[in-house]
Amino acid sequence: MPTGGSLINKHRLTAAKQLASPNFSERTQTAKIELLVIHNISLPPGQFGGGYIEAFFSNQLDPDDDPYFRDIAQLTVSAHLLIDRLGHMTQFVPFDKKAWHAGASHFEGRDNCNDFSIGIELEGCDDEPFTVLQYERLVSVTQQLMAEYPDITLDRIVGHSDIAPGRKTDPGPHFDWALFRAQCA
């Protein structure tokens, strides 16, 4: 990624590889982007690399590649952006579109957080720390998103667990919220 960060152009992160997911919908004309949701994902669980996340978000996951995939291959989910363990970024859905990342969710009296949020997946799991490169990329992207979509503020950045308590645990106990927020400020 270039020094000083990348740019957002036409709701796309120019420093990210673009891989279109079919799993998105239009936002309503009145929907403002005002929430950032941080997730973690690894496929198979606890394993990194292999391209399975990209395949999953593109509806190309082969259920025969791992027994776990048999239960999830038919799901239609996506995120706006994935940051892998090496800091590489892949954008699946333009930020102005509704990615299907939050599921049943609730924030400040509103349901269906997909309607007004951006979802960023960090390749990881609840049991391991994230990498320095992932934090660097996430901070840079977050600062750019806050500049591009000013309704996203530090107090409107949450974990999936915050909007789906009891159902989701990510980004998990190893995500360093204090470090992340301090670097974003």
**Hey, what are 170's tokens?**
């990510």
With a CB cutoff of 8 Å and minimum separation 6, the contacts of 5 are: 15, 140, 141, 143, 144
Strand, coil or helix: 185: coil
Instruction: Let me know: does 180 contact 138? Beta carbons within 8 Å.
Output: yes
Please report the sign of the dihedral spanned by the C-alpha atoms of residue 93, residue 62, residue 88, residue 123: positive
DSSP H helical ranges for the chain? 52-57, 69-72, 132-148, 160-163, 177-184
Catalytic residues: 121
